[in-house]
Amino acid sequence: MDVLTQLALSSDATQLAVVGAAFWVLAAFAALMEWRRKKVRDYAQLERVGWMPWTAIFIMCAMIGGGCLAMSLPVVLGSL
């Protein structure tokens, strides 16, 4: 059985935990990109590559991921 089939057949709480973890990975990526953007000393280079609201993306993904993990935590811990 492959991973996607196992995930599809798992409980709703497990699926919610996986989605929450994915949002936290995306939040970590956004935090890394914001750190890289702040590290740029040449602002001409900053304008050349474009601008993304990495802080807002980080906050939104961290909140959604934390909410998903908090809602799935009692069921996931109860099954261990």
Which pLDDT band holds residue 9 (cuts at 50, 70, 90)?
A: confident
Q: Does the reported pTM lie above 0.95? A: no
**Among candidates 56, 59, 58, 40, which has minimal Cα distance to 48?**
40
Which pLDDT band holds residue 49 (cuts at 50, 70, 90)?
A: low
Give, in order, the Cα–Cα distances in Å from 38 to each of 12, 29, 31, 46, 53.
Answer: 39, 14, 11, 9, 12
Q: Above pLDDT 90, what percent of the chain? A: 39
**Among candidates 23, 9, 14, 24, which has minimal Cα distance to 75?**
14
Question: What is the pLDDT averaged over residues 15-33?
Answer: 94
